[in-house]
Amino acid sequence: MHMETGDKIPEVLGLDQAGNEVSSSDFEGKALIIYFYPKDNTPGCTAEACSLRDFNSELEAKGYTTIGISKDSVASHAKFADKYSLPFILLSDPTTEVNQSFGVWQKKKMAGREYMGTVRTTFVTDTDHRITHIITKVDTKKAGEQLLELLADAGQ
């Protein structure tokens, strides 16, 4: 299953840094930026998180709440967020159920071996939580600028 533009996002989104289940209804009336990434503390994922951190106030000013999701543990997310002063929620999806519901848990190849993993993808929703944009080619070092450009081009 793949989420497409126009689809409503699933209710269950994962566990926050305190281990509480987070649902899309917790963000009623808010437009969301939900970014899926492979792993805490890896170079690309750190660059992406820091870029989103650096542009968080501009994204919030446009009415967006940012949420990061990976299969890392709640404890790993808490350390990652603390280490890089991340101002947004990181959700843990240890069973990959949320990754699968968005269609980002896919077969990947590295060094000749195949394995299942998270394909870095960013979803943007409107205030009704319907997907308005999907970024599949995320520029990790410029993730924040990439989103602001996309929203500007869309007149937001």
Q: pLDDT, tens digit, for every residue of 96-139?
A: 999 999 999 999 988 899 999 999 999 999 999 999 999 999 99
Q: Is the pLDDT of residue 26 over 70?
A: yes
Q: Find residue 28's DSSP bridge partners.
A: none
Torsion of Cα atoms, 104 then 105 then 110 then 115, to 10°: -170
- For 49-65, the pLDDT digits (tens) are 999 999 999 999 999 99
pLDDT for the residue 17: 80
In the chain, the percentage of residues whose pLDDT exceeds 70 is 99
Residue 45 is a catalytic residue: yes
The reported pLDDT for the residue numbered 1 is 62
Which member of 45, 52, 89, 151 is catalytic?
Answer: 45
Where in the chain are the domains? 12-153
- What pLDDT shows up at residue 121? 97
Say yes or no to pLDDT of 39 above 90: yes
pTM above 0.85, yes or no: yes
Band of the pLDDT at 40, cuts 50, 70, 90? very high
Give 18 or 59, the one with higher predicted confidence. Answer: 59
Pick the CATH number of 12-153 from 3.40.50.11540, 3.40.30.10, 3.40.50.300, 1.20.58.100: 3.40.30.10
Per-residue pLDDT reduced to its tens digit, 91-103: 999 999 999 999 9
DSSP conformation letters of 13-71: EEE-TTS-EEEGGGGTT-EEEEEE-S-TTSHHHHHHHHHHHHTHHHHHHTTEEEEEEES
